[in-house]
Amino acid sequence: MSEQLTDYKNSTKKVYIKTFGCQMNEHDSERIAGLMAEAGYDLSERPDDAQVIILNSCSVREKAYDKLRSEIGRFGSLKKNNPGLVIGVGGCVAQQEGKRLLGGSRLIDFVFGPRAIHKVPEIMERVSSDGRGVVEIGAPGDKMIDANIKRDNGITAWVSIMEGCDNYCSYCVVPYTRGREVSRPSNNIINEIEGLASDGFKEVTLLGQNVSSYGKGLSESVDFPTLLSKIEPIEGIERIRFITSHPRDLSVDLIDAMAKLSKVCEHIHLPLQSGSDKILEGMNRGYTYEEYRKKIDLIRNRIPSISVSTDIIVGFPGEYKDDFHKTKDALLGIGYDNIYLFRYSRRPNTAALSLDGHLPEDLKIERLEEILLMQREIASRKNGSYIGRSAQVLFDGQNSKEEGGIVGRTRTNKVVYVKGSRSLIGHLKEVKIVSTSFASLRGELLENSINA
């Protein structure tokens, strides 16, 4: 019997998937895993017991291609020991480089872009019959959105509501790798979320590069606030989140919908990028700092408990000292709960490449560090204001660093650690916050919420 079991185990094919980049890419990897599962592959935690390795690449920053090549290089010895090992590259570098990737490394067997994910099983068959060399890039409009998705946590789920981006911010490669913006019909989204609810999921995060322009180009008349109001009644779903909103397209209707719909969480990620109007113009962002600031004031007015996070780029071409100071002033003035900080990176095809005033790397790093230090203090202060308050937490996992510890998030997207039974994972509980750091909160379960 045990021998049979071992045989069975050995005969199971395995795929190892490594993901770089944003949530869209993470979510795409869940789709790849779903399709590979249909083709008979289990997910492997380690590359060394897999028959197929897939790297889902990101191209948002410089040297993405070099980094990818050195990643792949690490699998060279595995391939030497196991010539049958198949290595594929997906994601945004794959889209950008296409078949150049095959020429650049003998280790790569196939390449597929984000819009060709649905073809992965077919690609695998072609690789096994014809050998290496398959490249599938996919065209805009090629949809894989309804593909099978293998989510690894039964509590919180990403749901794609649109693909691509039409904004062409002057620094950004995404419109070139993900293609034009295409919204997904609302009934497909609702069906998927109803399915998630019946599978026991409690929270959905709607994904798109610019969710606030959802609905453009669809034959039905639907916008993002309407979509939210269609999701709100789905029984079993307790929380609705979304990323990312573009400040230019953030409407009063959306703010009203957020205030009115009880499941929409009190958190917004609204990328500012820079506090200087001159830099914002060079970035082609389509708003001024003042316009952005007014929207933040409006949101805070309507939803006082809201937490706000942002993306900031330092060292954009032409960012002189006073522009940098404007960004620092903006961060101090707005007081974000959290920021994602980047230093400007040259990307192929992008308009910013030809701007004057590119800055040296060490200056960019200096500015980055200055802002990091400043933001730590702001975030510590923000989190400190939670002490003594109670907050609703959805627990979604164990705390690997603490025996008997579990972790979850508040509606405002703060990470909260508590001591508590694993049976609470998947449940919403009230927690009293007892201490905080710049990165997370620590709480105690309130008496009446200790049992699941």
Which residues in this chain contact ligand SF4 in the complex, by CB under 6 A? 165, 167-169, 172, 174-175, 209-210, 246
Does 415 engage in binding with ligand F3S (CB under 6 A)? Answer: no
Tell me, rounded to whole angstroms, the distance of Cα 127 from its chain centroid.
30
Count of residues touching ligand F3S (by CB under 6 A): 13
DSSP code per residue over 193-257? HHHHHHTT--EEEEE-TTGGGTTTT-SS---HHHHHHHHTT-TT--EEEEE---GGG--HHHHHH
Distance between CA 300 and CA 294 in Å, rounded? 10
Does 166 engage in binding with ligand SAH (CB under 6 A)? Answer: no
Residue with tokens 């979850």: 408
Residue 357's Cβ-count burial label (10 Å; 0-12, 13-18, 19+) is exposed
Strand 307-314, strand 162-163: pairing: unpaired
Does 178 engage in binding with ligand F3S (CB under 6 A)? Answer: yes
Q: List % helix, strand, coil for the chain (3-state, nearest 5).
A: 40, 20, 40
Does 345 engage in binding with ligand SAH (CB under 6 A)? Answer: yes
* Single residue of 91, 138, 179, 215 touching ligand F3S by CB under 6 A: 91
Query: Measured from the CB of residue 163, what is the shortest distance to ligand F3S in angstroms?
Result: 10
282 interacts with, out of ligand F3S, ligand SAH, ligand SF4, none, CB within 5 to 8 A per kind: none
Single out the segment in contact with ligand SAH by CB under 6 A; choices: 121-129, 252-260, 340-348, 417-425.
Answer: 340-348
Count of residues touching ligand SAH (by CB under 6 A): 17
> What are the CA-CA distances from residue 275 to residues 271, 290, 327, 329, 339 (Å)?
11, 9, 4, 7, 13
Residue (21 or 426) nearer to ligand SAH, CB = 21
Query: Measured from the CB of residue 246, what is the shortest distance to ligand SF4 in angstroms?
Result: 5
DSSP code per residue over 110-142? EEE-GGGGGGHHHHHHHHHHH-S-EEE---TT-
Tell which positions 173-202 bind ligand SAH, by CB under 6 A: 174
* Single residue of 342, 386, 395, 417 touching ligand SAH by CB under 6 A: 342
Single out the segment in contact with ligand SAH by CB under 6 A; choices: 42-50, 64-72, 105-113, 169-177.
Answer: 169-177
Does 271 engage in binding with ligand SAH (CB under 6 A)? Answer: yes
* Binding positions for ligand SAH, rule: CB under 6 A: 60-61, 171-172, 174, 209-210, 244, 246, 271, 273, 311, 313, 342, 344-345, 347
